[in-house]
Amino acid sequence: MAYKVVDIQNVSKIYHTLDGETLAMHDLSLSVFKGEIVSIVGPSGCGKTTLLSLIASLIKPSSGKILIDGIEIKKYDKKIGYMFQNDNLFEWRTILKNVLIGLEVQNNLTPENISKTENLLDIYGLKDFKNHYPSQLSGGMRQRVALIRTLSTEPEILLLDEPFSALDYQTRLKVADEVGTILKKEKKTAIMVTHDIAEAISMKRQKK
């Protein structure tokens, strides 16, 4: 039976600044089941990044609870992989060194993990580029590298914050489609936020 991987219960978030308070989220409840890819669409400023930061436990809710795999989260968990608005690739590191960075930070650069990550580069068409630098790749390829880097630490849940916003419209839809296919193939649970409805639809389209 499908179970709730992410369970957001009546969460509100108020930011306190010197200028006053901003209610960024009010009484949100949302469940995401294992293997689901959920897209959340909304205009700028509606609280999308806030939602992902709450799930990743980078910030705390003002009220309500967030459960991951049935347990209330208190701090950032390795189960979660967070892909940001821009690809954040390090220009001075090769593609292989970029995708290995998560494992390096976790002190987990075992030969087995390295070969799994190299395999992801092979599967997703980047084998011949592993010794190239990010500036030598197209925008769509860079986004794929960023995704593989996020996948390399084997997170259970992926959080994607407008991951394709730097790409032109046509490339964006193509890459969203590709990324959706990769996430399904890798059987990941994912939450993507975007202001672009077409992108959300491309991402969720199933490839048989």
To ligand ATP, the closest distance from the beta carbon of 196 in angstroms equals 10
**196 within 8 A of 172, measured Cβ to Cβ:** yes
To ligand ATP, the closest distance from the beta carbon of 208 in angstroms equals 32
Site for ligand ATP in 27-46 (CB under 6 A): 42, 44-46
Nearer to ligand ATP, 63 or 110 (CB): 63
C-alpha–C-alpha distance, residues 68 and 73, integer Å: 6
**159 touches ligand ATP (CB under 6 A):** no
Nearer to ligand ATP, 93 or 195 (CB): 195
C-alpha–C-alpha distance, residues 112 and 171, integer Å: 33
Nearer to ligand ATP, 24 or 145 (CB): 24
Going by the DSSP 8-state scheme, the letter that residue 137 receives in this structure is S
**113 touches ligand ATP (CB under 6 A):** no
**24 touches ligand ATP (CB under 6 A):** yes
**26 touches ligand ATP (CB under 6 A):** no
Nearest to 81 by CA among 34, 151, 184: 151
**166 touches ligand ATP (CB under 6 A):** no
C-alpha–C-alpha distance, residues 124 and 67, integer Å: 32
Nearest to 153 by CA among 207, 45, 71, 76: 76
**14 touches ligand ATP (CB under 6 A):** no
C-alpha–C-alpha distance, residues 113 and 148, integer Å: 13
Note the residues at the interface with ligand ATP (CB under 6 A).
Answer: 15, 17, 22, 24, 42, 44-50, 195
